[in-house]
Amino acid sequence: MTGNKTAAVLAAILLLLRLLLPGAARQLASALREALVGELGWESVEALGRSVAQSPG
């Protein structure tokens, strides 16, 4: 139960930090995205989404 409480407190701090320091969160998100998918941006995923309705059938 202590583990659950500690995790809940840490999670709340993280979410609060995101609200208070959105710039830092955005920078971290951008760095993480680049590490995970390289130069591939959301535009490519959007293009993939657009292509679903355009595909035959």
Contacts to another protein by CB under 8 A: 3-4, 6-8, 10-12, 14-15, 17-18, 25-26, 28-29, 32, 34-40, 42, 44-54
Cα 26 to chain centroid distance, Å, stands at 9
Closest distance to another protein from the beta carbon of 30 (Å): 8
Closest distance to another protein from the beta carbon of 38 (Å): 4
Q: How many helices (H) and strands (E) does the chain have?
A: 3, 0
Tokens of 23: 């710039």
Closest distance to another protein from the beta carbon of 36 (Å): 4
Query: Which residue do the tokens 């969160």 mark?
Result: 25
